[in-house]
């Protein structure tokens, strides 16, 4: 069962907006945006499985997360929605739009993940190193040191400090590895709905080149770049973000 919060007042023939947060976030990540949009739109901010109050009961891929959201839509008799996804939530939203197009009216991707170029090789190296290290640090006297060494090792890899907590739960850890390996490039060309792509020019987690590639691959897409902003551009310049959302969603 997914935890969620509703916002706004449902109006006749108005399509609901579904907000999906990034890895390590939860439905509260969208509060500054929702506060500014709730008088014009209605919808749901959802805790993805493993975050907030939604449990992660199985090792999951992006497609599993997409399926969970589609089940949520069916349970709430939602035939079509607008999806707004940040980072990991953007990747899930893109999978929904490409795999279940009938449910998606419009799509907004904000510093979305899912493009895996040469970084994928780096990820494999770091995952292998952590795996070997785990075996070594099971030896007597070294076991307590492993979490600290693992954190140091990942600080040189393609992860942020907010991701470390995901590595302590076995189900979440395996899910995280799957998510890191998944590339959605082949799915993006199948997205047929109008798509708005918002990106921070100084994003170091999902670089602007990822956003530009998504813009190239998604047929009906437009790209706006927040100059000087990071992976959380939508919070760093929330007024501009909401202005784009109002225009696009209207």
* Helix, strand, coil share of the chain (percent; to 5): 50, 15, 35
83 - beta bridge partners?
Answer: 18, 107
Structure tokens at 205: 């987690």
Higher pLDDT, 38 or 116: 38
State the span(s) of the chain assigned CATH 3.40.50.1820: 4-116+184-249
Give the global pTM: 0.83
Q: Is 4-116+184-249 a CATH 3.40.50.1820 domain?
A: yes
Q: Is the pLDDT of residue 124 over 60?
A: no
- Helical ranges in 5-75 per DSSP H: 31-37, 62-75
Q: 215 near 128, Cβ under 8 Å?
A: no
Q: What gap in Å lies between CA 88 and CA 110, rounded to an integer?
A: 10
Give residue-wise pLDDT tens across range 50-98.
999 999 999 999 999 999 999 999 999 999 999 999 999 999 999 999 9
């Amino acid at each position: 069962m997914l935890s969620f919060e509703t916002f706004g007042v449902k109006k006749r023939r108005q399509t609901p907006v579904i907000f999906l947060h990034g890895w390590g976030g939860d439905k509260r990540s969208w509060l500054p945006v929702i506060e500014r949009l709730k008088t014009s739109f209605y919808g749901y901010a959802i805790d993805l499985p493993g975050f907030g109050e939604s449990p992660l009961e199985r090792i999951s891929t992006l497609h599993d997360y997409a399926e969970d959201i589609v089940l949520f839509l069916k349970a709430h008799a939602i035939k079509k929605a607008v999806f707004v996804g940040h980072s990991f939530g953007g990747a899930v939203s893109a999978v929904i739009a490409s795999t279940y197009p009938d449910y998606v009216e419009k799509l907004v991707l904000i510093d979305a993940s899912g493009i895996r170029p040469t970084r994928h090789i780096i990820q494999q190296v770091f995952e292998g190193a952590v795996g070997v290290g785990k075996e070594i640090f099971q030896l007597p006297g070294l076991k307590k040191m492993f979490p600290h060494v693992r954190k140091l090792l990942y600080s040189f890899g393609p992860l942020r400090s907010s991701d470390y907590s995901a590595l302590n739960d076995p189900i979440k850890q395996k899910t995280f590895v799957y998510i890191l390996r998944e590339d959605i490039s082949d799915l993006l060309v199948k997205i047929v709905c109008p798509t708005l792509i918002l990106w921070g020019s100084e994003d170091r987690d999902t670089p602007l080149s990822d956003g530009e590639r998504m813009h190239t691959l998604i047929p009906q897409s437009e790209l706006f770049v927040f100059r000087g902003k990071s992976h959380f551009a939508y919070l760093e310049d929330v007024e501009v973000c909401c202005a784009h959302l109002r225009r696009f969603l209207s």
